[in-house]
Amino acid sequence: MAIDELRSLFLFAGLTDEQLRQLDGASDVVPFADGDVLFREGEPSAFWWVLLDGRIELLRRSGHEAAVVAVMDHPGLWAGGFQAWTDAVGYLATAHALGPGRILRVPAPALGDFVQAWFPFSLHLIQGFFQTVRMVDAASRQRDSLVALGTLAAGLAHELNNPASAATRAVDELQAISDRQLMSLVHLAQGSMSADQFLALDALRRGLDPPPPGSDPLAVADREDALADWLDAHAVPRSWEVAPALALAGADVAWCERVAQLLEPDSLATGLEWAASALSMTTLLSEIKESTGRVSNLVATVKSYSQLDRASVQDIDVTEGIDSTLVVLGDKLHDGVSVVRDYADDLPRIEAIPGELNQVWTNLIDNAVDAMEGKGTLRVSVRPDGDHVVVEVADTGPGMTQDVQARVFEPFFTTKDVGKGTGLGLDISRRIVADRHHGEIGVASQPGQTVMTVRLPRRRT
């Protein structure tokens, strides 16, 4: 293009003819028509674009819509070129042409060379600015990640502590009951009970039908009281220990009467103590199995949540990641928060990076619980929508104002108190959904209800 046209732009005021010729030699003029997209948000910022004539709007994605953040309508206005200073920054917006025009396109490496040769002091200032911003951003992200990790670790420790403590208590009781059972066997061997009587007693024990979990506790308590009275009437020692074990196993007074008919009077107490000990051992072993199984399931859930042993891109069931996230965040969901899962039956599998999506679910669910201040209803729904899967995380908190909704995906924007958030959670979620999975994330809020919506394509490309 003509050197005079470059000289007429305010941006190049002060450049010499030789510098303008160098700039002209390294660049090219790109004509555009109405509706053309010159560069897209998130793509590597490999070129510096300087408007020569025409009109271009810069759009940034915000939920389901693209919002206009700036308009280039004056010759000399520019955008992009950040790779002249760093490789880690992409275009901040999408350039959409509004009518015909022309734009000067300069490769970012050439721009960096020109600045270094022509304005070395300015280059140092620009590089220092980029480095400072990146350091602050990295430090904030690291702190946010550590806070999130600490929250998850505390919740997981709480979830693991309950079954681990239950298993420990059961083992301690099992030792005492095992000692009593061995002592009962010694007494039976020393007494008058025959082998046939012992086998018949064991058959009665194995024939008991324990009440199912969740049975009426009052009925069990009534049966225990009746058994204690019968045991006291038949001079069975430690009836307060024998009666509960028999009642929990489903024994009643009629069962004890059959044992009394089977055994000699001098063997009745010892036989019932042995049966109660054996039944207690079975109950305690079931508790240990359930507790250790719970620990194993939690470990498997965390392993699924972290995706440490799986490929990055997979065909996944979205609900698996959501369920594992709810388990990991279980400590925050215990008191006052009811969780409603609304999953469609015909959900397709999608191609995704599950570890990254789990980070999205964590941010959305954690924010929802914080918004409700620990009391309310958390609704997570998943449904198919054509070639997409739509996930909604809704809470019954106070809602967001229009101003907050407009800025909710901005980096470092937060409504939380100082020290409780850096405002990067939703920005990271937006980039994971939009940039990494080519999906959409949006928010709709009113008093009493806020809904975060994530729309993911079945295929990432």
Q: What are the chain's domains?
A: 3-118 (2.60.120.10), 155-293 (no CATH), 307-457 (3.30.565.10)
Nearest to 380 by CA among 332, 342, 324: 342
Rounded to an integer, the average pLDDT of 294-298 is 71
Task: Answer yes or no: pTM beyond 0.85.
Answer: no
Contacting residues for 81 by C-beta, under 8 A, at least 6 apart: 45, 47, 48, 49, 106, 108, 111
Assigned token pair, 244: 């509960």
For residue 143, name the pLDDT band (cuts at 50, 70, 90): low
Query: Who wins on pLDDT, 62 or 157?
Result: 157
Measured between its terminal Cα atoms, the distance across the chain in Å is 38
Percent of the chain exceeding pLDDT 70 equals 81
pLDDT of residue 419: 45
At 165-203, the pLDDT tens digits run 778 888 888 888 888 888 888 887 787 788 888 899 889
Q: What is the spatial distance between Cα 382 and Cα 454, in angstroms, rounded to a whole number? A: 10
At 69-102, the pLDDT tens digits run 788 888 989 888 888 877 667 788 899 999 999 9
pLDDT of residue 90: 79
pLDDT of residue 137: 56
For residue 53, name the pLDDT band (cuts at 50, 70, 90): very high
Task: Give kind and range of the element (H or E) at residue 441.
Answer: strand 440-446
Q: What is the spatial distance between Cα 349 and Cα 324, in angstroms, rounded to a whole number? A: 17
Q: Residue 243 class from Cβ within 10 Å (0-12 exposed, 13-18 middle, 19+ buried)?
A: buried
Radius of gyration of the chain (CA): 36
Reduce the DSSP state of residue 363 to 3 states and report it.
helix
Contacting residues for 141 by C-beta, under 8 A, at least 6 apart: 422, 424, 428
For residue 418, name the pLDDT band (cuts at 50, 70, 90): very low
Q: What is the spatial distance between Cα 46 and Cα 43, in angstroms, rounded to a whole number? A: 8
Q: Are 107 and 72 in contact (CB under 8 A)?
A: no
pLDDT of residue 422: 44
At 225-276, the pLDDT tens digits run 999 999 998 888 888 888 888 888 888 899 999 989 988 888 888 889 888 8
